[in-house]
Amino acid sequence: FRTIRKLYHNAKIPLGGELFDVPDRGLQFADGRLLMGFSAGDAEKFAGLHALAVLLIIEEASGIEQQIVEAAKGALTGGGRMLMISNPSKQSGEFFDSHHAKSKLWQCLSTSAFDSPNITGSEPEIPGLIDREWIDEMALDYGEESAVYAVRVLGEFPSQAADAVITLALIDAAKERWLELM
């Protein structure tokens, strides 16, 4: 919400509406449009939230508890949409499922550090964005085969949970072999 406030106040063309100091009141327009922010810790904040067109944006979606996602989905009646943004850091939860078991319900996009304009050179360098030095440090620090490198640099889900004995990749391979025998 801090970023939204900054963008609102620095807009080259006035956006109109009334911007409140607290995220759950947000930015409100006379025609009924509004932009609100919620903490992920309270599912009840989503109760009763309905409008003609709702767009829910969930940041750091890998860490959002399932009951919060379920409550948020209740606001998606009438053509509402949900956008989940996150590093793919966990092998469970709605964000993981959106790229795996529930992938038919989602439009999934993945971005690698190598897609950054600072790496591709497609745009002028953006200070503070990922650069080649950071990628090289991650490779040296964790190794290119590590889960940390996969998540933070490649934008991929880790192949093994931190507390797992058997990797997800081994389970998937065994499952494929079993299905071939059937």
Separation between Cα atoms, residue 30 and residue 13, nearest integer Å: 18
**pLDDT at residue 165 tops 60:** no
**Segment 120-133, tens digit of pLDDT:** 999 888 999 999 99
pLDDT on residue 171:
66
What is the reported pLDDT for 106?
A: 95
101: left (phi over 0), alpha (psi -120 to 50) or beta: alpha
Interval 26-47 mean pLDDT: 76
CA angle 108, 111, 114 (to 5 degrees): 160
Sign of the dihedral defined by the CA atoms of residues 4, 152, 155, 169, in that order: negative
pLDDT class for 170, splitting at 50, 70, 90? low
**How does pLDDT run across 53-62, given as a tens digit for each residue?**
778 888 899 9
**Token pair listed for 3:** 């970023």
Q: Which residue has the higher pLDDT, 13 or 25?
A: 13
Query: Mind listing the pLDDT tens digit for each residue in 85-114?
Result: 999 999 889 999 999 999 999 999 999 999
Radius of gyration of the chain (CA): 20
pLDDT for residue 28 is more than 70: yes
Q: Which residue is it, tokens 């959002």?
A: 64
How sure is the predictor about 27, in pLDDT bands with cuts at 50, 70 and 90?
A: confident
- Residue holding tokens 């053509």? 79
- At residue 162, the pLDDT reads 55
